[in-house]
Amino acid sequence: MDYVKAFLIGGLICAVVQIFMDRTKLMPGRIMVGLVCLGAILGFAGVYQPFIDWAGCGASVPLAGFGNTLYQGVKEAVDSDGLLGLFRGGFEASAAGISGALLFGYAASLIFDPKMKN
Amino acid sequence: MTVKTKEEKYNAYVKQVTPTTNMWLNICKAFLVGGIICTLGQFITNWLKNSGLNQEDTAAWTSLALILLSVILTGLNLYPKIAKFGGAGSLVPITGFANSVVAAAIEFKKEGWVFGVGAKIFTIAGPVILYGIISSWLLGLIYWITQLF
């Protein structure tokens, strides 16, 4: 059942974004920024975390999940550290993902060479 | 020829040469590819959970595993093929974010390790992190204010 939910919800989010992309012709970078901000807003609204608890990776793997992670990190840090938490929480919660992308990305640039476009 | 008719002709020409894509087919492809990537994430998550990891660590390891997979597929020039087929389905998951980080890093290798790779690795990661941090900071500020009362 986990897998069915992940497939259907994850697929559905991607399908909706596809419609949005076809209609607006927005660049991929803008779409990603939009999704992360949307995820943070939905996290703030208290919607996204329950959504992840229900849909699992169908909700957490799309980039909106990253935005939600950022907001949840800030919220937890504010609860424990007050105002200083605003400056700590986002990076604390997203550290693994960001470091991973940068480190693996850098390693890949050492190993692989740019491919010619066909 | 007046400006207006020129413009109309031009627009008609653009419409004619723009490749027509089947919207429904694109949506189905995005659904399929996005769904498969999320299911793969769920598979990793369940496996880690069953081996006794807590919720938070499981989520972090799942992200790292998907990022690593995307990095390898990008390096081998396979992710662009998935992206061409899947459209938003390959863009929306965290693998799409990782792909854009690595693709830029590899692409700008020739411009040097500091201002090539070092700067361009943030081409997409930069805006995503910046606006993610700004929006979560602002929302966190609202949350902080509401906690005062």
Give me the pLDDT at residue A25, please. Answer: 83
Q: Which residues of A touch B21 (CB under 8 A)?
A: 22
What percent of chain A is predicted at pLDDT more than 70?
Answer: 97
What is the b/e burial string over A12-26, where b = at least 16 CB atoms within 10 angstroms of the residue's CB?
bbbbbbbeebeeeee
The pTM score is 0.89
Distance from C-alpha of B26 to C-alpha of A71, rounded to nearest angstrom:
32
Q: Which ipTM was obtained for this model?
A: 0.92
How close, in Å, is residue A42 to chain B by CA atoms? Answer: 10
Q: Determine the angle formed by the axes of helices B122-148 and A63-81, rounding to 10 degrees.
A: 40
How close, in Å, is residue A43 to chain B by CA atoms? Answer: 9
Distance from C-alpha of A57 to C-alpha of B133, rounded to nearest angstrom:
22
A29 near B37, Cβ under 8 Å?
Answer: no
Q: Which residues of B touch A2 (CB under 8 A)?
A: 42, 46
Residues of chain B with pLDDT under 70: 1-3, 19-21
Q: Best residue in A47, A61, A79, A111 to probe B by mutation, most B CBs within 10 Å?
A: A61
The CA R_g of chain A, rounded to the nearest whole Å, is 17
Where do the domains of chain B lie? 27-107
Give me the pLDDT at residue B15, please. Answer: 78
